[in-house]
């Protein structure tokens, strides 16, 4: 089954074709992402209305480009998957409207995909042998969650952030030290040149039981450290390193707790912060020590992309699920409410 995937939940237009006849990364026939970063940079954050309008401009050309790269035409498609939520309502409606109309015109089924399920399943696109049960750490710009995955489509929330998401904390911390938007990846790059231990920040909520997170206090600690410092480039790098180590340690401590609680040794990491080099190294070291495994998508599939939507949509379409004919989006959507994915013949 060849499925077109469309992602427009925020500030990236993502399109991909996934072919279930070729399991694993080979199934990804083509994918392309257009980032609106430059458009929003002068505002220091995503402007929802500008995001919607840019998706309108970019989506159709990107679909044509992706199909051409895959050597396919719309007639080769067996289904269309789109991000139905969570996300910005106007941005979601652009993708959903195009996807639903295309599927109707081609007389193929369409499916609305949960954006975080897309992130969560991206590591399975890379590794077809990876199967539930496992624990997933979702770390992105809008979410920080630990999820118990009993089966594909059966998700239990084990813990989540009470305030800022990990990616949001990276972005806000970068901004307050004067790094240009979006600062997360730049802060991580700067941290590589910083001296470990020069600045020591707390590991929030690790001193008590539980699997929830809180990152907003860390941002305040950085603000005070930066304010009272000499503000040189070297100090900025040292603070960046101290901040990154605090976030990575905190995530790692909670991941170990979640694995212990679940009696499980497989950890799956997804979302933009999953591209962070130090987080990848730390979680690999922990997995080696436990004799377990940790799986990440390649960095390009950690941040928003159409491939994860095509893949997650293909699993659901193959199971016989599909959306109605109306254009329906859910800006807020609880992942635990998703239906399980079962074979159509069951
Ligand atoms: P959500 O998926 O929750 O709706 P989103 O789609 O905006 O949010 P993603 O695209 O998954 O989030 O990830 C973007 C986030 O990842 C940003 O906050 C960015 O700063 C962060 N990020 C990307 N690369 C890195 C990195 N190397 N180190 C730390 N953070 C990173
Ligand atoms: Mg984005
Ligand atoms: Fe995302």
pLDDT tens by residue, 254-304:
999 999 999 999 999 999 999 999 999 999 999 999 999 999 999 999 999
Q: How much is the pTM?
A: 0.96
**Do residues 177 and 246 both lie within one domain?**
yes
| Angle, CA of 122, 128 and 130, to the nearest 5° | 80
| Angle, CA of 335, 258 and 240, to the nearest 5° | 90
Residue 274 lies in a domain: yes
**Do residues 80 and 173 both lie within one domain?**
no
Closest C-alpha residue for ligand 1 atom 3: 142
| Angle, CA of 120, 121 and 125, to the nearest 5° | 145
**Do residues 70 and 100 both lie within one domain?**
yes
**Do residues 312 and 281 both lie within one domain?**
no
Residue 345 lies in a domain: no
Instruction: Please give all residues whose CB falls under 5 A of ion ligand 2, grouped by chain where several chains appear.
Output: 10-12
Which residues span the domain enclosing 87? 2-121+301-337
pLDDT in tens, 228-266: 999 999 999 999 999 999 999 999 999 999 999 999 999
Residue 342 lies in a domain: no
**Do residues 90 and 178 both lie within one domain?**
no
**Do residues 330 and 316 both lie within one domain?**
yes
Residue 127 lies in a domain: no
**Do residues 266 and 309 both lie within one domain?**
no
The pLDDT value given to residue 343: 53
Of 304, 324, 301, 322, nearest in space to 313 by CA: 322
Q: Write down the mean pLDDT value for the chain.
A: 97
Contact 309, 161 (CB under 8 A): no
The pLDDT value given to residue 346: 46
**Do residues 137 and 163 both lie within one domain?**
yes
**Do residues 266 and 180 both lie within one domain?**
yes
Mean pLDDT for 201-223 is: 97
**What percent of the chain shows pLDDT beyond 90?**
97
Sheet of 144-151: strands edge to edge? 154-160, 144-151, 134-139, 266-270, 293-295
As annotated, the binding site for substrate includes 138-142, 171, 184, 276
**Do residues 240 and 323 both lie within one domain?**
no
The pLDDT value given to residue 25: 95
pLDDT > 60? residue 341: yes
pLDDT band at 181 (very low <50, low <70, confident <90, very high): confident
Residue 236 lies in a domain: yes
For residue 272, give the ligand nearest its CA.
1
Residue 54 lies in a domain: yes
**Do residues 140 and 68 both lie within one domain?**
no
Residue 319 lies in a domain: yes
Quote the ligand 3 centre to 8 CA distance (angstroms).
10
**Do residues 193 and 249 both lie within one domain?**
yes
Contact 61, 55 (CB under 8 A): no
Quote the ligand 3 centre to 303 CA distance (angstroms).
6
Ligand 1 pocket, mutate which of 272, 306, 332 (most atoms under 8 A from CB): 272
The total domain count for the chain is 2
Instruction: Tell whether ligand 1 has an atom less than 6 A from the beta carbon of residue 83.
Output: no
CATH number reported for the structural domain that contains residue 57 in this entry = 3.30.420.40
Residue 343 lies in a domain: no
Mean pLDDT for 159-172 is: 97
Length of the chain in residues, anyone? Answer: 346
Instruction: Tell whether ligand 1 has an atom less than 6 A from the beta carbon of residue 272.
Output: yes
């Amino acid at each position: 089954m060849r499925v077109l995937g469309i992602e427009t939940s925020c500030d990236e237009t993502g399109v991909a074709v996934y072919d279930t006849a070729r399991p694993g990364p080979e199934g990804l026939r083509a994918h392309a992402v257009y980032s609106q970063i430059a458009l929003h940079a002068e505002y220091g954050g995503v402007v929802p209305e500008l995001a919607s309008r840019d998706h309108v401009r970019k989506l159709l050309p990107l679909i044509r480009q992706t199909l051409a790269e895959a050597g396919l035409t719309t007639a080769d498609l067996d289904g269309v998957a789109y991000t139905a939520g969570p996300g910005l309502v106007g941005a979601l409606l652009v993708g959903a409207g195009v996807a639903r109309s295309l599927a109707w015109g081609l007389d193929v089924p369409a499916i609305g995909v949960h954006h975080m399920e897309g992130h969560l399943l991206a590591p399975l696109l890379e590794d077809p042998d990876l199967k539930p049960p496992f624990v997933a750490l979702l770390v992105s710009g809008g979410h920080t969650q630990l999820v118990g995955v009993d089966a594909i489509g059966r998700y239990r929330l084990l813990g989540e952030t009470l305030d800022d998401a990990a990616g949001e904390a990276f972005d806000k911390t970068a901004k307050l030290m004067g790094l240009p938007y979006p600062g997360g990846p730049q802060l991580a790059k700067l941290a590589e040149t910083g001296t470990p231990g020069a600045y020591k920040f707390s590991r929030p909520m690790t001193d008590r039981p539980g699997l929830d997170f809180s990152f907003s206090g860390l941002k305040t600690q950085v603000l005070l450290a930066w304010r009272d410092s000499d503000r040189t480039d070297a100090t900025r790098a040292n603070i960046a390193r101290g901040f990154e180590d605090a976030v990575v340690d905190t995530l790692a401590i909670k991941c170990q707790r979640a694995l212990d609680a679940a009696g499980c040794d497989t950890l799956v990491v997804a979302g933009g912060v999953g591209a962070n080099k130090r987080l990848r190294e730390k979680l690999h070291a922990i997995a080696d020590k436990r004799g377990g495994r940790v799986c990440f998508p390649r960095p390009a599939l950690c941040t928003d992309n159409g491939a994860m939507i095509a893949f997650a949509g293909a699993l659901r379409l193959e199971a016989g699920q599909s959306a109605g004919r109306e254009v329906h989006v859910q800006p807020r959507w609880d992942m635990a409410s998703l239906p399980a994915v079962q074979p159509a013949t069951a």
